[in-house]
């Protein structure tokens, strides 16, 4: 199988993409293809990020002697400047690093824990019966800066100050706000007005910046400069920590100095499964990546990619939607923070479990209330992918959880504090029950896959969309023989709820297929051609047999895959 060539069915299904992109479609034309963009190809490094400025920041680091990890930190820091609603140094981070020389994967879980005093009992005394989704009690310790430090210390070639330099300059000098960023910003005005410091920072002249308006954030530049000089301790023990704790007191929060100072991100072995002739990797719990692997295992029992099970067919989409429901039911029932708890990860990853679960798929009817298997005894995120000229690769995802997170800014810091604590449960029977110094079940997941001499770092953001999007992307590559750009552009569905038969689907799936799915009981909500509800992804791929790197960027975002220029 050639992983770089879209098959005939993909070309036919995506012809409208080419038309919408202004490509003249003709059977005689060499440019008759099923994707709006070409893959980026280079023998040098490539950075794929949802912001061109972020991708360029990463490429500049590569061109000045940095490696994939340095470039990923630089790109991530820049996205925190130019897309502050999505991510930043008030959020969490997960990373998969591929060390080409060692031919080994490393995972880093830089998700933060709950303050020690943030307990169900404490929230009950505040009159709360469910986890708050914004405000002071939704804030957990942000993990990203500690994650940057561990990545730089273990793998980086450049100083952290070098990696952060472009982001610092951009925050200080300002940047024109892009169209999509402006739209997200405008949607969060009411949340930002709920906190004086957030409104002062993010609503200059009392409104969200319009497209093309210059936004400057000298306070964020100062915070990044302090991190550049003092590393993670500047954030968790120094002046930044003091400002965060002052905000906690002002809002009546329970986070204290020890919660910040004692936090540490953790190295973790990625988990994996085989899907046909590929091996696919995700981060272990507390992330949701296990659901992507279980979904792929269930799909492996289905005959996808054959005569009547081509891409976009009713049989394929029904099988995928039903597999999603089963895998996510298991996720919610069995997975949380594994520290001090034992979870059945090996069972959920097993082919035997998938075969058992797949038997519950009725080919003629949608299951509107799938339960977890029985055992004996939102979507505001950024993802980026990097490959350097030596073949080192980084799959990195970082998030505030919801747009502008908790809605709270510690005055003088220049960044929003995330609301990741909103993902805890107050159900005593849940493995995701809130507890002090515990990490919540996480939505953000970096992905990685390999086959033979091919290595691929990929991710698709968007809350609970992510595992199901990962599985669809891998199936597009493996079952339908699409190249990475065609696969990241391909129409997707998403079901962000855990019960019911509702499912969102892009309008590029045919009306006939949507009608047939409706007849099976699916309740379809039709979305736009490239809907942001389906998340946005980035991909880099390395063919070690030829030494060629490939990059792809999702048109659902504003990003690019940008190659490094050859060096003397």
Active site members: 381
DSSP-assigned letters across all residues of 441-459:
PB----EEEEETTEEEEEE
Give the integer Cα–Cα distance in Å for 49 and 40.
13
Tokens (6 digits) for 109 = 């879980």
Tokens (6 digits) for 75 = 């790109």
CA 113 vs. chain centroid, Å, equals 19
What are residue 213's phi and psi, to 5 degrees? -70, 145
CA 218 vs. chain centroid, Å, equals 27
Give the integer Cα–Cα distance in Å for 165 and 74.
8
Q: Which among 489, 550, 487, 492 has a CA at the least distance from the CA of 20?
A: 489
Q: Find tokens 């050859």 and name the residue.
A: 566
In sequence order, the 6+-apart residues with CB closer than 8 A to the CB of 109 are 94, 265, 266, 267, 268, 283, 286, 287, 439
Q: How many residues does the chain have?
A: 568
Instruction: State the virtual CA torsion across 514, 519, 521, 526 in degrees, nearest 10.
Output: 20
Structural contact between residues 443 and 288, judged by C-beta atoms closer than 8 angstroms: yes
Q: Find tokens 């981060």 and name the residue.
A: 283
Q: Find tokens 């997200």 and name the residue.
A: 184
Report the helix count and the strand count for the chain, using DSSP H and E. Answer: 21, 21
Give the integer Cα–Cα distance in Å for 50 and 56.
11
Q: Which among 48, 39, 43, 49 has a CA at the least distance from the CA of 2?
A: 39
In sequence order, the 6+-apart residues with CB closer than 8 A to the CB of 119 are 434, 435, 436
Structural contact between residues 384 and 79, judged by C-beta atoms closer than 8 angstroms: yes
Give the integer Cα–Cα distance in Å for 526 and 518.
12
Give the integer Cα–Cα distance in Å for 267 and 264.
10
Beta strands per DSSP E along 191-251: 214-215
Q: Which among 424, 445, 335, 328 has a CA at the least distance from the CA of 381?
A: 445
Give the integer Cα–Cα distance in Å for 73 and 114.
25
In sequence order, the 6+-apart residues with CB closer than 8 A to the CB of 342 are none
Structural contact between residues 219 and 431, judged by C-beta atoms closer than 8 angstroms: no
Give the integer Cα–Cα distance in Å for 411 and 219.
9
Give the integer Cα–Cα distance in Å for 130 and 66.
45
């Amino acid at each position: 199988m050639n992983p770089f060539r879209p098959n005939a069915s993909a070309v036919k299904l995506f012809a409208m993409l080419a038309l919408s992109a202004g490509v003249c479609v003709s059977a005689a034309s060499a440019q008759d293809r099923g994707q709006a963009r070409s893959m980026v190809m280079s023998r040098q490094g490539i950075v794929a990020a949802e912001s061109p400025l972020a991708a360029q920041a990463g490429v500049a680091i590569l061109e000045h002697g940095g490696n994939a990890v340095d470039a990923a930190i630089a790109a991530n820091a820049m996205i925190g400047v130019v897309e502050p609603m999505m991510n930043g140094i008030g959020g969490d981070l997960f990373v998969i690093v591929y060390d080409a020389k060692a031919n080994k994967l490393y995972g880093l879980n830089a998700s933060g824990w709950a303050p020690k005093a943030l307990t169900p009992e404490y929230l009950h005394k505040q009159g709360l019966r469910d986890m708050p989704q914004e405000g002071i009690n939704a804030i957990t310790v942000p993990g990203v800066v500690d994650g940057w430090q561990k990545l730089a210390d273990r793998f980086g070639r450049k100083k952290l100050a070098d990696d952060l330099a472009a982001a610092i300059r951009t925050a200080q000098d300002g940047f024109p706000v892009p169209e999509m960023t402006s739209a997200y910003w405008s949607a969060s005005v009411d949340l930002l007005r709920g906190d004086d410091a957030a409104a002062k920072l993010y609503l200059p002249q009392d409104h969200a910046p319009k497209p093309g308006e210059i936004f400057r954030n000298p306070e964020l530049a100062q915070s990044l400069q302090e991190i550049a000089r003092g590393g993670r301790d500047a954030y968790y023990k120094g002046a930044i920590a003091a400002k965060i704790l002052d905000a906690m007191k002002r809002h009546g929060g329970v986070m204290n100095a020890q919660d910040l100072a004692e936090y540490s991100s953790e190295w973790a072995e990625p988990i994996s499964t085989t899907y046909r002739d590929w091996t696919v990797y995700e981060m272990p719990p507390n992330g949701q990546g296990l659901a992507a692997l279980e979904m792929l295992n269930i799909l492996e029992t289905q005959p996808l990619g054959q005569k009547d099970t081509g891409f976009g067919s009713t049989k394929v989409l029904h099988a995928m939607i039903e597999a999603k429901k089963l895998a996510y039911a298991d996720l919610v029932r069995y997975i949380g923070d594994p520290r001090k708890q034992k979870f059945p990860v090996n069972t959920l990853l097993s082919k035997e479990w998938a075969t058992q679960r797949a038997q519950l798929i009725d080919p003629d009817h949608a299951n509107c209330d799938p339960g977890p298997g029985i055992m004996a005894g939102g979507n505001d995120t950024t993802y980026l992918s990097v490959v350097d000229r030596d073949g080192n690769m980084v799959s990195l995802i970082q998030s505030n959880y919801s747009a502008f997170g908790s809605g709270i800014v510690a005055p003088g810091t220049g960044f929003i504090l995330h609301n990741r604590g909103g993902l805890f449960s107050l159900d005593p029977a849940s493995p995701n029950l809130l507890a002090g110094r515990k990490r919540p079940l996480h939505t953000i997941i970096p992905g990685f896959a390999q086959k033979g001499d091919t290595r691929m770092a990929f991710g698709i953001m968007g809350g609970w969309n992510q595992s199901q999007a990962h599985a669809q992307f891998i199936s597009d590559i493996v079952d339908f023989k699409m190249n990475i750009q065609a696969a990241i552009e391909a129409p997707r569905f998403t079901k962000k709820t855990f019960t019911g038969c509702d499912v969102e689907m892009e309008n590029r799936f045919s009306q006939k297929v949507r009608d047939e799915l409706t007849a099976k009981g699916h309740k379809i909500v039709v979305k736009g051609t490239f809907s942001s509800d389906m998340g946005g992804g980035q991909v880099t791929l390395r063919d070690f047999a030829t030494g060629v790197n490939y990059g792809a960027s999702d048109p659902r975002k504003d990003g690019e895959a940008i190659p490094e220029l050859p060096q003397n």
